[in-house]
Amino acid sequence: MIECDKKNNWHEFLEFMQKRMNATEFENWLAPIHVLQITPDEVVLEVPNIFVREYLLENYKEALLNFFPACKGEPCIDFIVKEEKKKKALQPFPKIPQKSTPLFNPSYTFENYIEGPSNQFIKSAAMGVANRPGKSFNPLFIHGGVGLGKTHLLHSIGHYVQKNHKKLKMKCITTEAFINELVDHLRNKSVDKMKRFYRTLDILLVDDIQFLQNRLNFEEEFCNTFESLIHQNHQIVITSDKPPSQLKLSERMIARMEWGLVANVVTPDLETRVAILQDKAEKKGLQLTSDIAFFIAEHIYNNVRQIEGAINRLSAYCKLMNMELTVDIVENILAHLLQKSVDKKITVDDILKCISQIFEVRVTEIRGSSRHKNIAFARQVAMYLAKELVSESLIKIASNFGGKTHSTLLHAWKKIKKELPENDVLFRKLKMAKRQLGA
């Protein structure tokens, strides 16, 4: 077990955030914070002013929850505002000189992108583009839901090109940053300079093109740059939360984006999610049993970023509490992240199979009329669960138990309901059954 190192948590949080914020934001908002105290129940942070507190809570609540103690879904953080000697006007965004080489998230590489049947195609498309920029798919348009690895693939292309095609001139930019840059150049009357720069690029990587929607003037400028690059066979890669046809952009822009390969990132299948999870856990030095890994992957299924959040939270918890993880503990720690299994209808048959396993009796025995103690008890538990979880009439449910009457079902339900608060073993078995059923 890892020794509880309190300050470590803060350092891990900083490391995590540094990868997700730009350098200016990080310097302005996070660097000035000091940790005064961290206990398993509370964190005390010293902030230079009230804005830092608001900024953190408004923008990074989820990340805070992944690293620090929480109460009722809120981070348990006490912010103490440092007395300022001289009241300086707040300068939230001082200009920091821009680096000319693109900055990529160091962990967003092809090597770190876990592959499975669901994402093999998109990974090889991205690798194809990185290998032979401008010569395979142009543009490559990657679309899909939040947290599914679009930016990861975009930066992987960036890393690869930086390493293997050193001479190529590349720019990686978010659509928001592109717009901001354009605004700055308009203000300084230097738009031509910006245009010239963009049109001489060999590779342009653009993240989150959906932010170009409803920004007509910017769209036109972007479209011109786009056409100029494509006509010179220079590579463009774009990510978006929707396919081109669903973006509220001009027909001209949409048609251009559909010229090359439009590829979709989808939710990874269960095995790939487990592999991602194990990989991220290993990198954090966290040991997960396969039971726990499957449990998390079964309950967080449509967002890889949340899987990462879960691992960070578990790792922080282990360090703070110095505790061995079990499925029950994991379920408690991650309660706010876990999704119910896809809304599938639970049937009496599902319940019979599940109870037969947990109580080690046969389904035919539960359906039959044996009064043997173990069998009768398993039957009553199955009836209790069926009444709780199956949305059909009592008569119909009862008839699925080998033709029992609805009053037998009701009797069983009442008996188990009464016994539940007094019988710990029964309580745990029922909890396990519900979990297996995804209820």
Give the nearest distance from C-beta 149 to ligand ADP in angstroms.
3
Of Mg ion, ligand ADP, none, which one does residue 378 interact with (CB within 5 to 8 Å by kind)?
none
Residue choice 17, 304, 334, 437 for contact with ligand ADP (CB under 6 A):
304
Contact string (CB under 6 A) for ligand ADP, positions 12-41, x = contact:
------------------------------
- Which residue number, 25 or 308, has a Cβ lying nearer to ligand ADP? 308
Distance, CA of 375 to CA of 361 (rounded, Å): 6
Q: Is 262 helix (H, G, I), strand (E, B) or coil?
A: strand
Q: Which strands sit side by side in the sheet containing 77-81, from one edge to the other?
A: 34-38, 43-47, 77-81
Residue 283 has φ and ψ, to the nearest 5°, of: -65, -25
For residue 339, the minimal CB distance to ligand ADP (Å) is: 16
Selected binder of ligand ADP within 139, 147, 158, 244 (CB under 6 A): 147
Q: What does the alpha-carbon distance between residue 408 and residue 422 come to, in Å, rounded to a whole number?
A: 22
Interface contacts to Mg ion, rule CB under 5 A: 150-151
**Binds 382, which of Mg ion, ligand ADP, none (CB < 5 to 8 A, cut-off by type)?**
none
Residue 67 is a binding residue for ligand ADP (CB under 6 A) = no
Does residue 140 sit in helix, strand or coil?
strand
Q: Indicate the SS3 state at residue 34.
A: strand
Could you count the other beta carbons within 10 Å of the beta carbon of residue 79? 17
Closest residue by Cα to residue 276 from 254, 301, 243, 259? 301
Residues 240 to 279: which contact ligand ADP by CB under 6 A?
276
# binding residues, ligand ADP (CB under 6 A): 16
List the one residue from 146, 183, 216, 323 that touches ligand ADP (CB under 6 A): 146
Instruction: CB nearer to ligand ADP: give 147 or 244.
Output: 147
Q: Which listed residue (70, 77, 148, 318) binds ligand ADP by CB under 6 A?
A: 148
Smallest distance, Mg ion to C-beta of residue 172, A: 12
276 binds, among Mg ion, ligand ADP, none (CB under 5 to 8 A by kind): ligand ADP
Of 240, 309, 288, nearest in space to 17 by CA: 309
Choose which of 150, 284, 319, 404 interacts with ligand ADP (CB under 6 A).
150
Q: Which is nearer to ligand ADP, 42 or 115 (CB)?
A: 115
CB closer to ligand ADP, 104 vs 198: 104
Neighbour tally for 251: CB within 10 Å: 7
Give 289-297 contacts, CB < 8 A, sequence gap 24+: 289/325, 291/327, 292/325, 292/326, 292/327, 292/330, 294/270, 295/327, 295/330, 295/331, 296/330, 296/334, 296/338, 297/270, 297/273
> Would you count residue 204 as binding ligand ADP (CB under 6 A)?
no
φ/ψ region of 160 (left if φ > 0, alpha if ψ in -120 to 50, else beta) reads: alpha
Q: Closest CB to ligand ADP among 114 and 204?
A: 114
Taking the CA atoms of 298, 302, 307 and 309 in sequence, report the sign of the dihedral they define: negative
Binding status of residue 126 toward ligand ADP by CB under 6 A: no
Residue closer to Mg ion, measured from CB, 157 or 348: 157
CB 19 within 8 A of CB 107: yes
Please identify the residue of the shown chain whose CB is closest to the bound ligand ADP. 149
Instruction: Output the six-digit token pair for 97.
Output: 């000189």
Min separation Cβ 129 and ligand ADP, Å: 16
> For residues 151-180, which are near ligand ADP according to CB under 6 A?
151-152
Site residues (vs ligand ADP, CB under 6 A): 108, 112-114, 119, 146-152, 276, 304-305, 308
